[in-house]
Copies of this chain bind each other. A is one copy, B any other.
Amino acid sequence: MTNSITILFNIRYPIVQGGMIWCSGWKLASAVSNAGGLGLIGAGSMRPEVLETHIKKCKAATSKPFGVNVPLLHQQTDELIKIIVHEKIKIVFTSAGNPKKYTSFLKKNGITVVHVVANKKFALKAIEAGVEAIVVEGFEAGGHNGYEETTTMVMIPAIRRICPIPLIAAGGIATGNAIFASMSLGANGVQIGSRFVASTESSAHKNFKQKIVVAEDGDTILSLKQLVPVRLLKNDFFTKIKKAELSGAKKSELIRLLGKERAKKGMFEGDTTEGELEIGQVSEIIDNILPVSEIIEQLIAEFNRTAKRMNGMML
Contacts and interface: CB of A to CB of B under 8 A. Distances in A.
Copy count, this protein chain: 2
Nearest to A285: B158
Nearest to A146: B218
A70 to B, nearest CB: 25
A20 B285 CA distance: 31
A217 B153 contact: no
B153 A151 contact: yes
Nearest to A120: B217
Contact of A153 (B1, B171, B218): B171
B150 A284 contact: yes
Given A149-B222, A172-B151, A313-B1, A217 B158 contact: yes
Contacts of A306: 184
Nearest to A184: B181
A181 B185 contact: yes
Nearest to A15: B315
Nearest to A244: B248
A84 interface: no
B300 A307 contact: no
Q: Which 5 A-B pairs have the closest CB atoms?
A: A248-B248, A148-B218, A153-B172, A181-B181, A120-B217
